[in-house]
Amino acid sequence: MIKYKGKPFRCPVEVGMGIISGKWKSLILWHLHEKPIRYKELERIVPGVSQKMLTQQLKEMEADGLLLRKVYPEVPPRVEYALTGLGHSVFPLLEAIHKWTVDNLELEQIEE
Task: List the pLDDT tens digit at each of the 112 positions of the chain.
Answer: 999 888 899 999 999 998 998 889 999 999 999 999 999 999 999 989 999 999 999 999 999 999 999 999 988 888 999 999 999 999 999 999 999 999 999 888 888 6
Q: Which amino acid is at 82?
A: A
**What is d(CA 33, CA 88) in angstroms, rounded to the nearest whole number?**
6
CB 26 within 8 A of CB 94: yes
Which domains, from first to last, does the chain contain? 25-103 (1.10.10.10)
pTM of the model: 0.86
